[in-house]
Structure 1
């Protein structure tokens, strides 16, 4: 019996592995904004943004779970009120759209707005016109969050949108590539388990942690 290997010692190692495959020299000639799409992706995004001399920020989002299964993501709502629904799961669980949109509004009003305002000192992410956006995460599970963030960046008028992640399920590649300009990854896996399975150390980060990392 074989097991999948650990690819990355920690987020810092994952960041430098990503830098090895990104066209850094070409990107340095352009103006980029690096957005992390999760708390866990923020330390990686910070290292890459520094290498690119790019602006660093977050694309905040919240997961909506199935009512009877709090580990099953059925939708994502982002800080620009973009709601992306996993239609197949919604049908399987027979979940009403009213419930999903009601929950997304609750999360936006009670969690997203607070985090966005606190992180950016009451400044919202409202305009990405003519900007090259690099979306970064520590890995993709279903790809639902990344898809929601890509659509949010499109909604905000981004000039181009690229995605970079250390590890990705093979099944998510075509979906991401269908709406992103470029996709960069270090490892792709046909039989994906979970993101933390491929890191030696991957401590959970919370909102308070990224506030601290931002100030470092």
Structure 2
């Protein structure tokens, strides 16, 4: 783990290094859709895009936590109400699926719809049918965000789906590779701890920044 600590300066540094492994000519010529799966991924997307004209958007997701452990995520729901469940945790904690689906509906109504109106002025997530999609995040602890985004996008019949992520756990990389056309990454880490550990600086993205990025790239 020590060899990976603070291996990236910030999101801009991570994006610059990612553009060396992403086929940027294809990204430009095929007009890939840059879809962030988090606020941090959204800022990373702007640095990857640079002066290109590719469209940037964010797919809103909400975590579903264990009923008796607010720090343990057991599932995640997307704005199209696709749900990914961590079955091993559901079984270990003996959580009923009714609870998961109920929480997914509540999180969608209270969190996701609020974000759609706040950040996109009510505009729904655009269809990715026949599009080339690049899903982007600054890191990935469990892979649940990417899996939920993949389930959402693949249901819309895209032409191709890629992932760009600077740091990723080795086991998550192996899991995701099955579902995408390619994954562009800088470091796959066996004993992954948390994403912030691998950046010297990882500022919180405020709501105003999210609104500005989406407004400039709608």
Q: Which residue of 2 aligns with 1:173?
A: 173
Provide the C-alpha distance between the structure 1 equivalents of 2:112 and 2:124, rounded to a whole number of angstroms: 11
Structure 1 residues not aligned, in runs of 5+: none
RMSD: 1.7
SS of structure 1 residue aligned to 2:40: coil
Question: How many residue pairs align between the two structures?
Answer: 216
Provide the C-alpha distance between the structure 2 equivalents of 1:111 and 1:90, rounded to a whole number of angstroms: 22
Q: TM-score, normalised by structure 2?
A: 0.93
1:6-85 to structure 2, matched below 5 A, reads 6-85=6-85
Report the alpha carbon displacement of residue 125 of structure 1 after superposing the two structures with TM: 1.3
Provide the C-alpha distance between the structure 1 equivalents of 2:210 and 2:123, rounded to a whole number of angstroms: 17
Q: Which residue of 2 aligns with 1:96?
A: 96
The worse-fitting range, judged by mean Cα deviation, of 183-192 and 199-208 is: 199-208
Provide the C-alpha distance between the structure 2 equivalents of 1:212 and 1:26, rounded to a whole number of angstroms: 27
8 Å CA contact retained: 1:37, 1:146: yes
Provide the C-alpha distance between the structure 1 equivalents of 2:30 and 2:2, rounded to a whole number of angstroms: 43
What whole-Å deviation, never above 9, does each CA across 1:111-136 have from its counterpart, x for those lacking one?
Answer: 10111123222210142111000000
Q: TM-score, normalised by structure 1?
A: 0.94
Structure 2 residues not aligned, in runs of 5+: none
Report the alpha carbon displacement of residue 64 of structure 1 after superposing the two structures with TM: 0.8
* Structure 1: 4+ residue segments shifted above 6 A: none
SS of structure 2 residue aligned to 1:20: coil
Provide the C-alpha distance between the structure 2 equivalents of 1:5 and 1:111, rounded to a whole number of angstroms: 33
Provide the C-alpha distance between the structure 2 equivalents of 1:3 and 1:160, rounded to a whole number of angstroms: 34
